[in-house]
Structure 1
Amino acid sequence: MTLAGFEPIGDHATHTLILGSFPGVASLAAAQYYAHPRNQFWRLVGAAIGEPLHELAYDDRLTRLLAHGIGLWDVLAACEREGSLDSAIRHASPNDFAVLHTRFPALRRVCFNGKTSGRFAPVIGAAGYATRVLPSSSAANAMLSFDQKLRLWRDLLTHDDTDQTRVR
């Protein structure tokens, strides 16, 4: 069965876009980005921008994220997958990144939430955007502690340089 992803979250003032790979089972069921309670995304981004996002209702999280010029999307528009692991993704179709220039005119930087989505960094970089591959916020990524992830997320979300950097 083919699964469909979400529409991008962002507006004309979005200067930083965070791209995940594809929503997990909990996110698809809730129709919300990063809905699994063990995913550290909302805690990481919230701490990086100084907002308690994980304590807010979903719509309020999005409002605060947009107020900081940060948008969300995924690299994949659709795929087949059993469960939530990126390694189980099959028959994937990427999103149409050609729309970035018109949909997000202020966009300067694209951050990738993990290595799977980070495979698209060269494509996005070739379109003229600064790119960053952040450590995955997924609970399945236990190689780094929350504090180690936070140091990298905070550094990369709050600095506005233009070189391309990969984080492992």
Structure 2
Amino acid sequence: MENTEIKKVSFPPLIDEEAEILILGTMPGNDSLRLGQYYASSNNSFWKIINALFNENKGFADYKEKVDCLKKNHIALWNVLSSCNREGSADSNIQEEKLNDIEALLKQYPNIKKIVFNGQKAAKSYTPCIAYAIAESTSNANAKKIGVKIKNWESNLKK
């Protein structure tokens, strides 16, 4: 019998027809899966980076504002993996990974011209057929300071 506590299933893509950049993480962490929101852990710096780069550091009232900010800036989110087994939230614990059909998504949304991977693990799991960059992981497992991450993401998100 399968241990359902370690089986993780990704979210559908957060995308619309205007998306030009696709940010690919590996697999949502436990907080994200529990809340049904991308990058829900307060320890993850993803939304702090998006806030600094696209929201003038005003902060977000709720998840809808975060999503609206991404869409306004033509950014989509998804994960490289559709499912995996993983204890906890660390990418280093991922086993039995199954890939999302990213090629099909890119065909469905032809305005996407660039992929930005959220960290090395995501990049190692999938080789894209379009331009791509590998940004600093926003996970708290990446101990780099937020200012370093913001500068790195700013340069990688340039179209």
TM, length-normalised to structure 2: 0.91
- Where structure 1 has 5 or more consecutive residues not aligned to the other structure, the ranges are 161-168
Aligned counterpart, 1:140: 141
Aligned counterpart, 2:153: 153
Question: Which consecutive aligned stretches of 4+ in structure 1 deviate over 6 angstroms post-superposition?
Answer: none
Aligned counterpart, 1:82: 87
Aligned counterpart, 2:28: 23
The size of the alignment, in residue pairs, is 154
Residue pair 1:16, 1:108 contacting (<8 A) in 2 also: yes
Aligned counterpart, 1:98: 103
Matched residue of 2:14: which SS? coil
Residue pair 1:11, 1:103 contacting (<8 A) in 2 also: no
Aligned counterpart, 1:61: 66
Residue pair 1:75, 1:94 contacting (<8 A) in 2 also: yes
| Partners of 1:96 and 1:58 in 2: CA distance | 26
1:114 and 1:83, CA in 2 relative to 1: closer, same or farther beyond 3 A?
A: same
**For each residue in 1:76-135, what CA deviation from the matched residue of structure 2 results, as whole angstroms up to 9, or x when unmatched?**
0000111000011110101011212333220001000001001145x21xx2x1100000
Aligned counterpart, 2:117: 112
| Partners of 2:109 and 2:62 in 1: CA distance | 25
Read off the aligned partner of 1:137 and give its amino acid letter: T
| Partners of 1:103 and 1:51 in 2: CA distance | 32
| Partners of 1:67 and 1:37 in 2: CA distance | 23
| Partners of 1:63 and 1:103 in 2: CA distance | 21
Aligned-residue offset at 1:21: 0.5
Identity %: 33
1:120 and 1:48, CA in 2 relative to 1: closer, same or farther beyond 3 A?
A: farther
| Partners of 1:149 and 1:84 in 2: CA distance | 20
Matched residue of 2:78: which SS? strand
| Partners of 2:149 and 2:123 in 1: CA distance | 16
- RMSD over aligned Cα, in angstroms? 1.5
